[in-house]
Structure 1
Amino acid sequence: MSVWDSIVGQDQAVARLRTIASGNPKAIAQSWLICGPPGSGRSNVARAFAAALESPTHGLSDEPERSSEQILAGSHPDVTVLATDKVTIGIDEVRELIETSEQTPSISPWRIIIIEDVDRMLERTTNVLLKEIEEPSPHTIWLLCAPSAQDVLPTIRSRTRIVNLTVPSTPAVANFLESRDHIEPETAERAARLAEGHIGVARLYAINERVMADRDELVAGVVNLALASDAVLLAGRLIDNAKAQAEAEVEERATEQEKEFRRINGLGEKDRIPPKLRTAFNQIGKKTELKRRATRRSRDVLDRDLNTIASIYRDAAVLQNNAEDSVGLINRENRAAIARLADRLTRQGVVDRLDSVSTARRRLNGNGNQTLLFEALFCALMV
């Protein structure tokens, strides 16, 4: 299995990185910025690139390689990944990475540092990183990930090689779901279409019936908004569903991490945790940590809900402009209801509602009161 097999819809970027990884090591840039919209797989591309750089065959072998498997699983000693559930990446975390980056790799050609969501760094934190990006240690490669180059400070941007990813097409995401998760073609197509190119969301829709049902309920609620009481009730359900989804996902992730911890340390499912490992193991299921993750994840779920709401008015605009044959609808299952909504709204009314969704997103990112935010949004969407 090639290290690139998990990358969806990024043929151009993969071809470029594959060529670089198999080229002269002395010619490889040591600071990279991998950019792509949410769900495009930028962190997966970074891991695959790291695996190709560390691989004895430069990632060209179709046979499993231990180093590649370790990197893709997050357990390779020379590849460090900083991923955060926090709103910002802390300065102490970056200083620790810099110390790691200055160490000689133990078993591989490179010491590789991957930072997901580098756009979450405050300026003073970025300044700490800047010198290392500009003059990396001789055997260190930095792979930074962000939604776009514009989301990163110019001082960082100008010192990296940029790789731009695209939004994967619906057929590409659907094929991925069918081949990797053995999803039925009809379900895979619907999940990919509703996710609008976001691979992680598409998988969630395809394998989690509750998440898909919550989305269907949200669409039905928005197209039928008529009274202020409807807006208040819908906002309440939305917040409750987001909290429940987030808590379930965080608990599931913690369980997976505990299993992986046991596997890496050679422990069986029921083996006692040795005293020297107990602190690290307990940190995985720490209540305060789980609560913090759930809070962050809940906001991510609400952001996804805003995408769903925006897709309704996008479809309404498509119908108003007779563009369905050329660009298609996202919410095809709700075509009749959205067509009625499009008839009741002017073109400017649709634009105004898309603006209201954008305003709600800014307030959500600014940690505004979530209940009041969505009550106000749904009141603004009423016809």
Structure 2
Amino acid sequence: LKGVEEPAPRTVWLLCAPSLEDVLPTIRSRCRHLVLRTPPVAAVADVLIRRDGIEPEAAHAAAHATQGHIGRARRLATDERARARRATVLKMPLRVDDIGGCLRAAQELIDAATEDAKQVAEDVDVKETEDMKAALGASAGGRMPRGTAGVMKELADRQKRRSTRTQRDSLDLALTDLTGFYRDVLAIQLGSRVALANGDVRDALDRVARASTPERTLRRIEAIVACRQALDRNVAPLLAVEAMAVSLRAG
């Protein structure tokens, strides 16, 4: 409280919370409030069209699929591999009919997240490593000066840790897509007029909706939430996803 009331010189505190009610009143009363909201689908599509030159149809499809996340929408609209990985995720609800299918689907989800992390690493690590070598004075043949091996090892270790975090983040995004699938299923089951995030796989949504009930759909969403919580507790990713896949079948 003292730090907020009397911050150090040239210090600005940015306190982030899901809502104002999540902040203690004593802190809330001493802050300037700035409410952020998820941009609507139309606004995201407009940014992709005007800023990135993406075709309107692809821009609107990506904006709907990512529900207001501009960065993910841009990647989905411009990266064929990102679209392929999303397609793998959205096939999972149709592949958990038996235990074998659950385990295979879980492994494919983990593989997709690993591949996604690998792609990100390729985009970042190579340039980062080359920049470090240049800064340390590497020769034209790539030979490093004496005494720099420790610095390069530290960089490699940092990149490895980042790769692990990226894989977890990619898996969490996949689980978010999976939650969106069942959210659409629930909307169909309840006859809601809410816009579907995954209208491009409407046949799959209708198939799952007909084969279950709203109660079962809610239990499946809860299973995905439990998986995300398990990953936050550092449960082995494959184990957590396999448990979720079995729950999707049994739910």
CA-CA distance at 1:149 after TM superposition: 5.1
CA-CA distance at 1:259 after TM superposition: 8.4
Q: In the alignment, does 2:206 pair up with 1:339?
A: yes
Q: In the alignment, does 2:217 pair up with 1:382?
A: no
When normalised by structure 1's length, the TM-score is 0.56
Question: Could you say if the C-alpha distance between residues 220 and 288 of structure 1 is closer, same or farther in structure 2, counting changes exceeding 3 Å?
Answer: same
One-letter amino acid of the structure 2 residue matched with residue 211 of structure 1: A
Percent identity, aligned pairs only, is: 37
Supply the distance in 1 between the matched residues of 2:116 and 2:27 (Cα, whole angstroms): 36
Deviates more, 1:136-145 or 1:182-191: 136-145
Q: In the alignment, does 2:25 pair up with 1:160?
A: no
Supply the distance in 1 between the matched residues of 2:131 and 2:44 (Cα, whole angstroms): 27
Supply the distance in 2 between the matched residues of 1:148 and 1:250 (Cα, whole angstroms): 34
Supply the distance in 2 between the matched residues of 1:239 and 1:362 (Cα, whole angstroms): 16
2:104 to 197, 214, 233: 233
CA-CA distance at 1:314 after TM superposition: 0.8
CA-CA distance at 1:254 after TM superposition: 3.6
Q: In the alignment, does 2:221 pair up with 1:354?
A: yes
1:322 to 191, 194, 219: 191
CA-CA distance at 1:289 after TM superposition: 0.5
Question: Could you say if the C-alpha distance between residues 142 and 301 of structure 1 is closer, same or farther in structure 2, counting changes exceeding 3 Å?
Answer: same
Supply the distance in 1 between the matched residues of 2:132 and 2:60 (Cα, whole angstroms): 35
SS in 2 for 1:161: coil
One-letter amino acid of the structure 2 residue matched with residue 240 of structure 1: D
Question: Could you say if the C-alpha distance between residues 224 and 209 of structure 1 is closer, same or farther in structure 2, counting changes exceeding 3 Å?
Answer: same
8 Å CA contact 1:258–1:284 kept in 2: the answer is no
Question: Could you say if the C-alpha distance between residues 192 and 211 of structure 1 is closer, same or farther in structure 2, counting changes exceeding 3 Å?
Answer: same
Question: Could you say if the C-alpha distance between residues 205 and 141 of structure 1 is closer, same or farther in structure 2, counting changes exceeding 3 Å?
Answer: same
Q: Deviations over 1:162-184 (max 9, x none)?
A: 31211111111111111222111
8 Å CA contact 1:316–1:339 kept in 2: the answer is yes
Question: Could you say if the C-alpha distance between residues 136 and 370 of structure 1 is closer, same or farther in structure 2, counting changes exceeding 3 Å?
Answer: same
Q: Deviations over 1:225-245 (max 9, x none)?
A: 211111111111111221121
Residue 106 of structure 1 corresponds to none
**Larger proportion of helix:** 2
CA-CA distance at 1:370 after TM superposition: 1.0
Question: Which aligned pairs between 1:75-154 and structure 2 lie closer than 5 A?
Answer: 131-145=2-16, 147-148=18-19
Supply the distance in 2 between the matched residues of 1:343 and 1:252 (Cα, whole angstroms): 42
2:175 to 297, 306, 320: 306
8 Å CA contact 1:254–1:285 kept in 2: the answer is no
Q: In the alignment, does 2:59 pair up with 1:188?
A: yes
SS in 2 for 1:222: helix
Residue 124 of structure 2 corresponds to 253
Q: Deviations over 1:283-321 (max 9, x none)?
A: 798111011011111111111111111111111111112
SS in 1 for 2:33: strand
Question: Could you say if the C-alpha distance between residues 175 and 214 of structure 1 is closer, same or farther in structure 2, counting changes exceeding 3 Å?
Answer: same
Supply the distance in 2 between the matched residues of 1:260 and 1:141 (Cα, whole angstroms): 32
Q: In the alignment, does 2:232 pair up with 1:365?
A: yes
SS in 2 for 1:141: coil
Supply the distance in 1 between the matched residues of 2:153 and 2:32 (Cα, whole angstroms): 35
Q: In the alignment, does 2:161 pair up with 1:295?
A: no
CA-CA distance at 1:160 after TM superposition: 2.9
Residue 169 of structure 1 corresponds to 40
8 Å CA contact 1:235–1:375 kept in 2: the answer is yes
Supply the distance in 1 between the matched residues of 2:97 and 2:115 (Cα, whole angstroms): 27
RMSD value, Cα: 3.2
8 Å CA contact 2:88–2:109 kept in 1: the answer is no
Q: After TM superposition, what 4+ stretches of structure 1 lie above 6 angstroms from structure 2?
A: 150-155, 258-262
Q: Deviations over 1:346-374 (max 9, x none)?
A: 12111111111111111111111211111
Q: Deviations over 1:129-177 (max 9, x none)?
A: x644331234333334455556667775554323121111111111111
Supply the distance in 1 between the matched residues of 2:85 and 2:234 (Cα, whole angstroms): 23
